[in-house]
Amino acid sequence: MKNNPFLIVTFFCSIFLSSCISSIDYINNISKNGSLINDSQKQIIIIGSGEVNIDSFEKTYTKNFDNDDHFKNSYLTDFINASKENDLYNNITVSENQEWDLLNQGYNYSNNIKLDTLFNNAQEDYLIHFSGFRITNRVVHSYSHGFGPGAMMNNNSTEFCVVNLNVTIYDLKAKKEILSFVSTGESSVFMFDFTKTFLKAKERSIKHTINYLKDGKTTYRSL
């Protein structure tokens, strides 16, 4: 039986391409201090606190959001919608009680009584706390050969918008933190559409959080 040259080339090309695919961890710094029950009927409250640190895409940020509260409220709304669409949590609401922001300070002498009161009065099962929002970027460089003898190497660069945030989950019945991690979403700039890039990175950070909470997925493949 003769070897098919086309199949041989295809085989080696597939090996080459698979070797070029890298893995990226979009969920990092995981700390587990208890068990989280994935029951879509659990009652959840969510909050977003702290300032939004903007290292890059500042013009895009101010173009689409009036202030940090506008961005955080948008993020919480999008998380609720995505959570319900993925059947993660169906009974999920945003807490209007700003005293939950004391969680940013941790337990200390001045706020432990207030936090204990909040936990004791809570009727829900879990609290998901989003904080430490940071908008930044990264640039990936790639090189390709030019055409013709003696052609120079071409340097190509791709910019990504990156959205990072801290996610902390509290068991309100047990009155303790049970899970924390850093979630990241990113998207490459295409055709100078910075708004679409920014919003896609924001959307992916939510997607990665939900996938981790639902299936434990932390790593994604990227070319």
Inside any domain, residue 150: yes
Q: Judge whether 15 lies within some domain.
A: no
Q: 223, 16 in Cβ contact below 8 A?
A: no
The token pair at 136 is 């930044």
- Evaluate whether residue 196 is within a structural domain: yes
Which amino acid makes up residue 135? I
| pLDDT tens sequence across 57-110 | 999 999 999 999 999 999 999 999 999 999 999 999 999 999 999 998 877 777
pLDDT tens sequence across 12-64: 444 444 445 588 999 999 999 998 988 889 999 999 999 999 999 999 999 99
Mean pLDDT of the chain: 87
Backbone angles phi, psi at 95, to 5 degrees: -80, 135
Task: Write out pLDDT tens, residues 102-157.
Answer: 998 877 777 889 999 999 999 999 999 999 999 999 998 776 655 556 556 666 78
Residue with tokens 């597939």: 14
* pTM (2 d.p.): 0.84
Is there a domain that residue 4 lies in?
no
Beta strand segments in the chain, E: 22-25, 27-32, 43-48, 53-54, 91-94, 126-145, 153-171, 176-188, 219-222
- ∠ CA 190-73-115, nearest 5°, is 135
Number of separate domains in the chain: 1
In a domain, 145, yes or no: yes
40-187-133-179 Cα dihedral, nearest 10 degrees = 40
Tell me, yes or no, whether 170 lies in a domain: yes
Counting residues of the chain whose pLDDT is more than 70, the rounded percentage is: 84
First to last CA, the chain: 36
Question: Which pLDDT value is given to residue 15?
Answer: 45
DSSP state of 99: G
CATH of the domain at 151: 3.30.160
Specify the 3-state DSSP secondary structure of 162.
strand
12 found inside a domain? no
| 6 belongs to a structural domain | no
Q: Which two tokens stand for residue 209?
A: 């959080």
Domain that holds residue 160: 22-222
Neighbours of 68 (CB within 10 A): 17
- pLDDT recorded at residue 5: 52
Task: Tell me how far apart the alpha carbons of residues 133 and 53 are, in angstroms, rounded to a whole number.
Answer: 6
| Cross-strand pairs, 55 | none
71 neighbors 62 (Cβ within 8 angstroms): no
